[in-house]
Structure 1
């Protein structure tokens, strides 16, 4: 079994990456193959709306990490996507990834695969609920299944780098999200 953890944060080792890594721990413990696809160290060029992918099934843009991600999506069984809230939205880096995923829309690569969402914002109303909705919308538009954490996706408040490490409840919730995705994956495999 294989899971992909995507962090949309441009900050290496930031709060979002920390939570995505925490959510991936149950997968490591269960012996899953884990791909950490962190946009702090990857490059995804923005979509140019050329519609070439509609005609050819491949993206006209080359020279970035999107081709690697698509090959990973073809072979994954589950996903976790996290993003900090930037101006009440996902980061530009994650939005570029979502836009470029248009190339896979007719291939149904994510159909029936469980996915979890993580959002980190500066304050209580820092846009986390919107970020969770945007990630869930990506899943639903791709045919993936939205897996809850304890209630919905994981929503966390953190401002300074490393703040999330002081929040045991949020770290535990990240693990719960990972465990829930594993449960959904196991149910899907049995059916």
Structure 2
């Protein structure tokens, strides 16, 4: 079984990456294959809206990390996507990934797969609920199944780099998100067997 963890943060080792890694811990412990795809060290160029992929099933943009990610999507069983909140939205880097995913719309690469969401904002009500809704909408539009944390996705407040490391409750909730996805994955596997 395989899980892909995606951080939409352009900041390496930022609060979002910390929470995504924490959510991935239960998968490491259960022996799943884990792929960390952090946009702080990857490049996804924005979609140019040419719609060539509708006809060919292939994106005309080459030379970035999207092709690798498409292979990861094809072979994963679950996803965890996290983003810092920028202007009450996901980051431009994550939005580019979502837009470029249109290339696999006809192939339904995420259909039936499990997905969890994490959003980190500067303050309470800093747009985290909107960012979580955007990630969940991406999952639902792709046929993936949204898995909750304790309530909905994981919403966290952090301002400075490393702030989240001092928030035991949020670190625990990230782990709960991973554990919930594992629980649903095991139920689905048992039902399929």
The residue that corresponds to 2:150 in the other structure is 150
2:4 is the alignment partner of 1:4: yes
Report the Cα offset of residue 39 of structure 1. Answer: 0.1
Q: Secondary structure at the match of 1:155?
A: strand
Q: Secondary structure at the match of 1:81?
A: strand
The residue that corresponds to 1:140 in the other structure is 140
Q: How many Å separate the matches in 1 of 2:55 and 2:152? A: 37
Report the Cα offset of residue 123 of structure 1. Answer: 0.2
Task: Give the TM-score of the pair, scaled to structure 2.
Answer: 0.98
Structure 2: state its 5+ residue gaps: none
Q: How many Å separate the matches in 2 of 1:125 and 1:152? A: 15
Q: How many Å separate the matches in 1 of 2:56 and 2:184? A: 34
Q: Secondary structure at the match of 2:64?
A: coil
Q: How many Å separate the matches in 2 of 1:186 and 1:109? A: 20
Report the Cα offset of residue 20 of structure 1. Answer: 0.1
Q: Within 5 Å, which residues of 2 pair with 1:62-77? A: 62-77=62-77
Q: How many Å separate the matches in 2 of 1:53 and 1:189? A: 32
The residue that corresponds to 2:109 in the other structure is 109
RMSD over aligned Cα, in angstroms?
0.4
Report the Cα offset of residue 147 of structure 1. Answer: 0.1
Deviant stretches of 4+, over 2 Å? none
